[in-house]
Amino acid sequence: LNHVRLPIGYWAWDISRGEPYHQGQLPYLNQAIGWCRTLGLKMIIDLHGAPGSQNGFDNSGQKKSYPLWHTSSDNIARTNAIIKTLASTYSSQTDVVTGIAPLNEPAGFFGNDVVAAARQFWYDSYGNIRYPYGTSQQGAIVEFISDAFQPLSYWNNFMPWQNGFEGVIMDTHYYGVFSQAEVSRSWDQQVQAACARGNQLTTSTLWTVVGEWSTAFTDCAKYLNGRGVGARYDGTYPGSTFVGSCAPWTGSGANFSATYKAFLRRFWEAQVTAFERGQGWIYWTWKAENADEWSYSAGLNYGWIPQNPTQRNYPNVCG
């Protein structure tokens, strides 16, 4: 393991429109950079929430039925200013800070308006991140752009190196739990779907990293779908159909069966094998409150994630 992806919201820098957020996050960001330096780790700073919300998810800081980031030039200008500040601040600390993700998961599934705003924002952020000194001199920090929930093929030949773009990485996220069809898969089908994702990575024209994924095969983790919202897997999510009880599949790893832990190991290896067909992966998340199937540290503790991530029990899991 060599990188930490650290999410942070725009309110750490700017609540000038009267937003009701507490500030004070930046000393902790700097402390985390210091810890990484001490431990020989690198960091990707990820803007996880933008003014108006880029996706309406609670993890953007505002849960909305429709995101508003892309609808306001003021929202976008404020976000650009934050990215410019981020890049300028940390351009001298590239021994640790190797990348900036200027906007996590803009919700392109809402339509072309969101995708078009994201595309332009990737260009704007390229200038802010790759040229942090206000001159023609390039910096060392790489820009991580989100796929905006579009197929990787949509982004083929976007920001190509032949046109002078350097230091751009596509950040795609893979979860097999956020639809009824996905949570209805068998364990073997989950493994097969993960392996198929690896085939897609090889066709991307940009360096491509799977910047979020987990070993969860259900959406049973408490509040995963939002505070007070149930799970598709057990039929408590609105409009969902019961697949099975959540009880065996979430909570403390101390209560997971040996059979379940063996599957988690196989599923972990399938995804790592697939995602390393691209430029690598970043697991979500290091720790979870009470859902060990999402926790890398719990996986290490209970044995379904190996201490050495190159070690394999299922070397031919993807064929």
Instruction: Enumerate the active-site residues.
Output: 105, 212
Distance (Å, rounded) from C-alpha 225 to C-alpha 220?
Answer: 9
> What distance lies between CA 152 and its chain's CA centroid?
15
Distance (Å, rounded) from C-alpha 17 to C-alpha 51?
Answer: 9
For residue 238, give the nearest of 251, 249, 226 by alpha carbon.
Answer: 226
For residue 143, give the nearest of 102, 204, 85, 105 by alpha carbon.
Answer: 102
Q: In this structure, how many other beta carbons lie within 10 angstroms of the beta carbon of residue 33?
A: 21
Instruction: Assess contact for 271 and 284: CB atoms under 8 A.
Output: no
Residue with tokens 């994201």: 118
Ordered DSSP codes for 3-32: EEEEEEEGGGT--TT--------HHHHHHH
Query: Rounded to 5, what percent of the chain is helix, strand, coil?
Result: 40, 10, 50
For residue 48, give the nearest of 115, 124, 106 by alpha carbon.
Answer: 106
Ordered DSSP codes for 256-272: S-HHHHHHHHHHHHHHH
Instruction: Assess contact for 98 and 44: CB atoms under 8 A.
Output: yes
Distance (Å, rounded) from C-alpha 233 to C-alpha 193?
Answer: 18
The amino acid present at 230, given as its one-letter code, is G
Residue with tokens 């070397």: 315
User: Encoding tokens for residue 104?
Assistant: 């996590």
Q: In this structure, how many other beta carbons lie within 10 angstroms of the beta carbon of residue 184?
A: 14
